Structure 1
Amino acid sequence: MAWSASSARFAVCTAERVVLLYDEQGERRDKFSTKPADAKYGRKSYVVKGMAFSPDSTKLAIGQTDNVVYVYRIGEEWGDKKVICNKFIQTSAVTCLLWPAENIIVFGLAEGKVEKLVVCVTFFPLWGLSGSARGWAGGRGILSGHADGTIVRFFFDDEGSGESQGKLAVHPCPPYALAWASSSIVAAGCDKKIVAYGREGSVIQTFDYSRDSSEKEFTTAATSPSGQSIVLGSYDRLRVLNWSPRRSAWEEGKPKEIAHLYTITALAWKRDGSRICAGTLCGGVEQFDCCLRKTIYKNKFEMTYVGPSQVIVKNLSTGTRVVLKSQYGYEIDEVKILGKDRYLVAYTSDTLLLGDVSSNKLSEVAWQGSGGNEKFFFDNENVCMIFNAGELTLVEYGSNDILGSVRTEFVNPHLVSVRINERQQRGVDENKRLAYLIDIKTIATVDLVGGYNTGTISHDSKIDWLELNETGHKLLFRDKKMRVRQPPQATWQDEGSRETLEPLPVPKGLQMSWRGALDKSLE
């Protein structure tokens, strides 16, 4: 079984070698038959042992025991024609298969090798039958389990972690149930023991069920997308392990026991973490909801906490969903929806999560909490302005780094102007500018890309409104005497226009707004 990366498709391959395609509600929408490597041996000469969607969800890789890996193009819509676009002949039967990244397909062979497509590269020498393989969330590495109990790790990109690769540990039995979580590696097999290994292969925990006569051997395992929960399948039972960040240990949850379910042969976790599917020896597929709790927010949104660090926010009126997840595994305390029900704000112990529901742009920045005293302003669609203890912090939606931070006591959003790549300019890739008040009569402008001040404008009267143009090269401001000004040449240090405008009389009470028409008239 396999879930697509978009969570919109769920594929199941039966014992008859037919692939059934379901939507996320569990309704069957399509099907197609797999092909043998050589037609002269007949359609019943092989068994499908591995299946995985491509990262773009338009292709499906299938590994078979007749020494072949097929890649099917299944299209973007239900009912699109299914075409074999790649065929990779191998030297022995395929035992497991992963598709962790766009151009990388990883599979294990019965002769013990673990190889990578599209160009076949042998990762590990012959140790015996490859029984299992698991990918790390994000596609940065894989694990493989072998018949002699060897567990091997390989990184595509270790991102400077310094963790070793190659032979990691030797499990007491073949690790057919193998899972790679965010904090450790969990393996289980026919000895009825679940063992958690540390990042360098040391045993950190063991759950022993060998004296439980009702327990059978563990056959498969699956890790939640957040990496904080693991489900292991055996006979008539699913066991759940949850990672406790406070204890830095695995905690056993209540097992799910279903009579006459028989042996669990496959597990597949939906990419948003909300559901897990279990395939059985008798051909059944059971689908389970996975959540810690559900809440309704303002009667408009449903929040499903699928893990300590992951929340699914669903708009009840439109059905659209946003998956809010801490990339560092921190526990999410509370989620708020602000700014006319468009923007998400959530706290963890060390970070702040922000998101734009309409564009699905999410950010997580390092943040030391101040007891919820922050003030959030969402007037700008590209950036969130946060005022806290005399400091203005800017966070661009979709970026995990703070865009800029300055000291100011003026929290009115009309006294701050931010422009983020709002107009394409020749020869300029990134154009991010900020204008704000140092004091009531002094304006400062900042280049946020370079992180330096571009100018300071001093005025003889109190300023009550300011705004940059779309390129950030012009500044318009208004003082308490209702005079609209552009900065004079002598004090404007930017590379933009240096014209000087005479004060314009503005009727009392007129609401000023900077838009394209005003921008063009100044030019």
Structure 2
Amino acid sequence: MHLKYVKTLLPPQEALARVTCLAWAPNNSKFAVCTIDRVVLLYDEQGERRDKFSTKPIDPKYGKQSYAVKDMVFSPDSTKIAIGQSDNIIFVYRIGENWGDKKVICNKFVQTVRLANTQTNRSSTIYDTESLVVSLTSNVSGKGILSGHADGTVVRYFFDDEGSGESQGKLLVHPCPPYALAWGANSIIVGGCDKKIVAYGREGQVLQTFDYSRDRTEKEFMVAATSPTGQSVVFGSYDRLRVFNWAPRRGVWDEAKPKEIPYLYTITALAWKKDGSCLCAGTVCGGVEQFDCCLRKNIYRNKFEMTYVDLSQVIVKNLSTGTRAALKSHCGYEIEEVKIMGKDRYLVAHTSDTLLLGDLLTNKVSEVPWPGSGGNEKFFFENETVCMIFNAGELSLVEYANNEILGSVRTEFMNPHLISVRLNERKQRGAEDNKKLAYLIDIKTIAIVDLVGGRNLGTISHDSKIDWLELNETGRKLLFRDKKMRVRVKYKHPEENIPMDTPISCSGALQELLCDGLHFTY
């Protein structure tokens, strides 16, 4: 991953005017900057300043100079900002969805270092230590935190260890206060005033050390930031950003060429955009700089720009509309070539062990287990809710935004007109999920499968070759046509569960048929 300067969001001053913290909204539409004067500036995705608001002290009688803003973070829905202050309070501001919405305090927590619950408006202690907290960071999923303390101790705590089995509590002791603390996908990286960056394993053992103590141009490391995938880490010091990329095949961190910025001075804050495409840095002189982040870029069919943010994430931009979609391997695997298929609407990409599928229109992305198949799959995108994949005589169904394969069956008939999938297209009483599949076992036999329970609902044998079939929206009726141009409706009686077969004569190509109030189009 390389950094390329894009623009200056906030010009530096000719005096100390420290940028205390930066934050990107999860939906990538807002960027917040807090300056030394305790004012939060709000920028849009293009880096244009659109709004601002002033923070408040714990008690108005103490005055606006009585505190400093230490950190801030957006809520998951990007409509609120939580701000932690040195006067032992956290204010949660509702900033709204639109620019110019009124900014109001909706929660406040008077405390030291504790867990704040916005639903109950109460706080609780996570753990106690006897040393000042100098840094705090979370893992990629946000379900675990690391705290760095002035005595060099790094403590790990999980809200949910996600089955990792990793220990909690005191993890390691760094030689100096860990002011720059980052939690990558595969290790923990720490920097401080000794001009060294050390990578530690999951249980605190030293993996790598990068020693810059003999470099007279290097200063202490003040801040660090991890990319959204955890595959890259950036450390900020004086006039310099150092970039480290994880090499999964060798299991080590590789240092990229550092980004040298003369007269930038000490970097005091870093924030990575949630899609990984850009990094913002705040300085001790009040400046905020924006950098583009990527491994490489290429143009696909002169219609799309592919930005490989890191090994496991690609940003796809439609050059004509400007819309963007992020294709990310949540398992951390390296994404190979990305293809755009299905009338330029659907994304397909392989990793070593998974398959990624995305819908550019709805922004839904799936990652399903998919061992190496040699790239011989055939993809069909006729259904807007599910992708049909044929490989070695097997049909697999992947529902967009679902990270598990919906169902797999054996069939040699790859024509999408011989397969019908219905996924919750009409609500039914007593059934939350209604997902059914009809397909050909052989040229004269139709099978119907309940994809929710994974059970076969039955088979239909016919005396002639079948060349088209379709389930209705509820999946309770089946319409099919044979080579003799005869159309039949096959269904179960809703009360008596008695199979019924209704023949419909048809001459010539079937254009449209009205069946029990439902339209089937061929």
**Common fold by TM > 0.5:** yes
Separation in 2, partners of 1:496, 1:137: 51
Task: Provide Cα deviations, 1:188-244, integer angstroms capped at 9, x if missing partner.
Answer: 100111111111111111111111111110000000001100000001100000000
Separation in 1, partners of 2:351, 2:513: 37
State the partner residue of 2:377: 374
State the partner residue of 1:73: 94
Does the aligned pair in 2 maintain the 1:423–1:471 contact within 8 Å?
A: yes
Q: What pairs up with 1:248-263 in 2 under 5 angstroms? A: 248-263=251-266
Separation in 1, partners of 2:24, 2:435: 39
One-letter code aligned to 1:70: F
Aligned CA distance change for structure 1 residues 368 and 126 (closer, same or farther; 3 Å): closer
Separation in 1, partners of 2:258, 2:376: 42
TM-superposed CA distance for 1:509, in Å, is 2.8
Matched, 1:21 2:48: no
Separation in 2, partners of 1:372, 1:495: 47
Match of 2:416 among 396, 413, 424: 413
State the partner residue of 2:507: 507
Task: Provide Cα deviations, 1:20-78, integer angstroms capped at 9, x if missing partner.
Answer: 11111111111111111222222112111111111111111111112222111111111
Separation in 2, partners of 1:168, 1:394: 43
State the partner residue of 2:13: none
Matched, 1:217 2:216: no
Does the aligned pair in 2 maintain the 1:62–1:70 contact within 8 Å?
A: yes
TM-superposed CA distance for 1:506, in Å, is 1.4
Matched, 1:173 2:176: yes
Does the aligned pair in 1 maintain the 2:222–2:267 contact within 8 Å?
A: yes
Does the aligned pair in 2 maintain the 1:268–1:276 contact within 8 Å?
A: yes
Aligned CA distance change for structure 1 residues 324 and 239 (closer, same or farther; 3 Å): same
Task: Provide Cα deviations, 1:296-353, integer angstroms capped at 9, x if missing partner.
Answer: 2222221111111001111222222111100101111111111111111111111100
Does the aligned pair in 1 maintain the 2:109–2:122 contact within 8 Å?
A: no
TM-superposed CA distance for 1:407, in Å, is 0.7
Task: Provide Cα deviations, 1:390-424, integer angstroms capped at 9, x if missing partner.
Answer: 11111111100001111111111111111111110
TM-superposed CA distance for 1:497, in Å, is 6.7
State the partner residue of 1:340: 343
Separation in 2, partners of 1:32, 1:383: 45
State the partner residue of 1:480: 483
Aligned CA distance change for structure 1 residues 394 and 67 (closer, same or farther; 3 Å): same
Aligned CA distance change for structure 1 residues 82 and 385 (closer, same or farther; 3 Å): same
TM-score after normalising by structure 1: 0.92
Match of 1:447 among 425, 447, 450: 450
TM-superposed CA distance for 1:174, in Å, is 0.5
Matched, 1:398 2:401: yes
State the partner residue of 1:281: 284
Percent identity, aligned pairs only, is 72
Task: Provide Cα deviations, 1:123-173, integer angstroms capped at 9, x if missing partner.
Answer: 222231100000122221111000000001110011222111111111111
Matched, 1:156 2:177: no
One-letter code aligned to 2:247: S
Separation in 1, partners of 2:515, 2:376: 32
Aligned CA distance change for structure 1 residues 196 and 463 (closer, same or farther; 3 Å): same
Separation in 2, partners of 1:119, 1:75: 23
State the partner residue of 1:33: 54
Match of 1:309 among 309, 312, 317: 312
Could you tell which deviates more after superposition, 292-301 or 180-189?
A: 292-301
Matched, 1:432 2:435: yes
Task: Provide Cα deviations, 1:459-482, integer angstroms capped at 9, x if missing partner.
Answer: 111111111111111111111111
Could you tell which deviates more after superposition, 438-447 or 62-71?
A: 62-71
Aligned CA distance change for structure 1 residues 494 and 317 (closer, same or farther; 3 Å): farther
One-letter code aligned to 1:509: A
State the partner residue of 1:110: none
TM-superposed CA distance for 1:496, in Å, is 6.1
State the partner residue of 1:498: 499
Match of 1:206 among 206, 209, 213: 209
Does the aligned pair in 1 maintain the 2:336–2:349 contact within 8 Å?
A: yes
Separation in 1, partners of 2:27, 2:187: 26
Does the aligned pair in 1 maintain the 2:176–2:192 contact within 8 Å?
A: yes
Q: What pairs up with 1:84-233 in 2 under 5 angstroms? A: 84-90=105-111, 103=118, 118-233=121-236
State the partner residue of 2:472: 469
Separation in 1, partners of 2:515, 2:102: 49
Separation in 2, partners of 1:427, 1:146: 54
TM-score after normalising by structure 2: 0.92
Match of 1:2 among 20, 23, 41: 23
TM-superposed CA distance for 1:504, in Å, is 2.3
One-letter code aligned to 2:321: T
One-letter code aligned to 1:292: L
TM-superposed CA distance for 1:511, in Å, is 4.2
State the partner residue of 1:50: 71
What is the count of residue pairs matched by the alignment?
Answer: 500
Runs of 5+ in structure 1 lacking a partner?
105-116
One-letter code aligned to 1:507: S
Aligned CA distance change for structure 1 residues 258 and 514 (closer, same or farther; 3 Å): farther
Does the aligned pair in 2 maintain the 1:454–1:494 contact within 8 Å?
A: no
Classify the secondary structure of the residue corresponding to 1:486: strand
Does the aligned pair in 2 maintain the 1:277–1:287 contact within 8 Å?
A: yes
TM-superposed CA distance for 1:493, in Å, is 12
Does the aligned pair in 2 maintain the 1:150–1:171 contact within 8 Å?
A: yes
Could you tell which deviates more after superposition, 170-179 or 480-489?
A: 480-489
One-letter code aligned to 1:249: V
Runs of 5+ in structure 2 lacking a partner?
1-21
Separation in 2, partners of 1:25, 1:181: 27
One-letter code aligned to 2:504: L
State the partner residue of 2:16: none
Separation in 2, partners of 1:34, 1:210: 39
Separation in 2, partners of 1:414, 1:340: 18
Separation in 1, partners of 2:242, 2:513: 60
CA RMSD of aligned residues (A): 2.2
Separation in 2, partners of 1:337, 1:514: 35
TM-superposed CA distance for 1:512, in Å, is 5.7
One-letter code aligned to 1:197: Y
One-letter code aligned to 2:71: G
Aligned CA distance change for structure 1 residues 376 and 207 (closer, same or farther; 3 Å): same
State the partner residue of 2:7: none
Separation in 2, partners of 1:318, 1:436: 38
Higher relative contact order (CA 8 A, sep 6+): 2
Classify the secondary structure of the residue corresponding to 1:40: helix
